[in-house]
Amino acid sequence: MTQTNPRSASPDMRRRILDQASALLAESGPDGLSMRKLSQRIGTSTIVLYTHFRDKPAILDELFVEGFERLHGDLLAVPDNLEPVARVMELGRAYRRSAVANATYYQLMFSRCVPGFDPSAQSRQASKAAFAVLRDAVARCVDAGLVAPGDPVEIAHTLWGTLHGLISLELFGYLPPSVSGQARLEQAIEVIATGMRVAAPNTETPGIPT
Amino acid sequence: MTQTNPRSASPDMRRRILDQASALLAESGPDGLSMRKLSQRIGTSTIVLYTHFRDKPAILDELFVEGFERLHGDLLAVPDNLEPVARVMELGRAYRRSAVANATYYQLMFSRCVPGFDPSAQSRQASKAAFAVLRDAVARCVDAGLVAPGDPVEIAHTLWGTLHGLISLELFGYLPPSVSGQARLEQAIEVIATGMRVAAPNTETPGIPT
DNA sequence: ATCTGAACTATAACACCGTTATTGAACTGA
DNA sequence: TCAGTTCAATAACGGTGTTATAGTTCAGAT
């Protein structure tokens, strides 16, 4: 009753599968994550995977959600007591750190890197929690009059797009490695912050670190 | 001498393969493009593909280059006599139009959507020609003093990242379909243009169409 | 005109993939 | 101890990219 599997064997096989799938994803990339290798790594046969998950996309779906939960957690770790605009920029830095640290996850989350996998509508909801952090931070800037008035959702989407775009180009190798991706993103969010702030009533904000 | 294949059979088989691969890519997406289906579509056996191309990635490499050539062409189609900043924004619009119109190509160009395929260093050069259009347009803004002084390459990278990011999010379904991707991108490049322009010596430019 | 040699093609096979039908094993409850 | 259910393993099916083997066709030289 407490378990899906009343048997003693593999008390939390489901968790083991996901952990090993995550490790395999991080090591070998999306291509290297095959059902056969996964079962072999766990030490069982492939059929076990199908008793705990419907099919391969179902496993990827969980990793997809897990990736957004990590991203969400990394964004929540940004201090809450910063000056609003500075906090948005700090969120941008945290976003990049999280994406680069979990590059294969990021690939799974934002590109169709596995042939049969398309995240389910329910899993896509996980992305909204992470986005909400960014949106709320932008909304705080708008409410404080630190930014040109506008829909926080739209502004946050612009910001998200820029973050994702630069990181995506960086991870794909389109940006020359001479300058660090961090520095480039730094300049980009500076431009956007300036663009957002330009029409605001009070441009100068008191007590900003930078 | 004029042909790689002195035989009469298949005067330009290579071209036929690429054309059908392109069509198959556009129809069925990256997943649907298999060597068997491709050869079946042409009406031959799979081995023909390997006599003209080293392997599957070699074919994808050509499509990859072809995709960037399309993008390059679409950017070059933007009028040259616009006011510099307006021209950059127009390039942004052209970029999105091109990406959306050739979505599967765009996917091939910017995401690892085919397991074994990683564009060769030589093919990646094709991306630089397209980027150069954007870079030169930005440089013109800088030279004219219409934009805060800075490295045109860096500024163009920021712009490229934003374009790519928003388009990527749009194509992946992360942006709500309520607002058109065009409108969202419009607002984004407006913010960036403002941010770039804010520290320029002379903000007002004479004789601008828009 | 025949032969040689090279280039192209087809068949079949290999190893891998995701998935599953069939079979076998193991444990719970009576 | 026995019945019944639920797990797991083997082997298979159809699919993928790729290639070894073998067959075919043509250009040029004798």
Q: Is residue B37 part of a domain?
A: yes
A115 and A138 co-located in one domain = yes
Taking the CA atoms of residue A116, residue A117, residue A122 and residue A124 in that order, the dihedral angle to the nearest 10 degrees is -140
B35 and B123 co-located in one domain = no
Who among A107, A162, A190 is closest to B112 (CB)?
A: A107
* Greatest distance between any 2 Cα atoms in chain A: 66
Residues with Cβ within 8 Å of A207's Cβ and at least 6 positions away in sequence, in order, are A83
Rg of chain B in Å (alpha carbons): 21
Whether pLDDT at B207 is above 60: no
Kindly report the CATH number assigned to the domain that includes residue B33: 1.10.10.60
Who among B107, B188, B193 is closest to A158 (CB)?
A: B188
Q: Is residue A207 part of a domain?
A: no
Whether pLDDT at A118 is above 70: yes
**Higher pLDDT, residue B154 or B201:** B154
d(CA B42, CA B19): 10
B92 and B171 co-located in one domain = yes
Nearest CA to CA, how far is A8 from chain B (Å)?
38
Which strand C nucleotides have any atom less than 7 A from protein CB atoms?
7-12, 16-22, 27-29
Q: Is residue A156 part of a domain?
A: yes
Contact B164 A160 (CB under 8 A): no
Residues with Cβ within 8 Å of B201's Cβ and at least 6 positions away in sequence, in order, are B145
B44 and B125 co-located in one domain = no
Question: What is the domain extent for residue B37?
Answer: 11-53
Instruction: pLDDT band for A208, please (50, 70, 90 cuts).
Output: very low
> For residue range B56-92, what is the model confidence (pLDDT) as tens digits?
999 999 999 999 999 999 999 999 999 998 999 999 9
Q: Is residue A166 part of a domain?
A: yes
A23 and A113 co-located in one domain = no
Kindly report the CATH number assigned to the domain that includes residue B138: 1.10.357.10
Contact of A190 with A204, CB cutoff 8 Å: no
Q: Is residue B105 part of a domain?
A: yes
| Start-to-end Cα distance in chain A | 57
Residues with Cβ within 8 Å of A77's Cβ and at least 6 positions away in sequence, in order, are A94
> For residue range B132-187, what is the model confidence (pLDDT) as tens digits?
999 999 999 999 988 888 889 988 998 999 999 999 999 999 998 877 888 888 88
A45 and A13 co-located in one domain = yes
Q: Is residue B175 part of a domain?
A: yes
Q: What is the DSSP letter of A102?
A: T
A82 and A111 co-located in one domain = yes
B27 and B99 co-located in one domain = no
Contact A158 B191 (CB under 8 A): yes
* pLDDT on residue A11: 54
Who among B154, B163, B165 is closest to A187 (CB)?
A: B154
B23 and B41 co-located in one domain = yes
Q: Cβ contacts (< 8 Å) between A164 and chain B: which residues?
A: 165, 168-169
* pLDDT on residue A181: 85
A115 and A149 co-located in one domain = yes
B41 and B81 co-located in one domain = no
Mean confidence (pLDDT) of chain A: 86
3-class SS of residue A176: coil
Q: Is residue B210 part of a domain?
A: no
DSSP letter string over B64-133? Answer: HHHHHHHHHHHHHTS-SSS-HHHHHHHHHHHHHHHHHHTHHHHHHHHS--STT----HHHHHHHHHHHHH
d(CA A117, CA B199): 46
3-class SS of residue B55: coil
- When divided into structural domains, chain A yields a total of 2
> For residue range A1-46, what is the model confidence (pLDDT) as tens digits?
333 333 434 557 888 999 999 999 999 989 889 999 999 999 888 9
Q: Is residue B207 part of a domain?
A: no
The count of other CB atoms within 10 Å of the CB of residue A32 is 14
Contact B194 A198 (CB under 8 A): yes
B45 and B67 co-located in one domain = no
Half-sphere exposure of A126 (CA within 13 A, CB side): 19
Identify residue A209 by its one-letter amino acid code. Answer: P
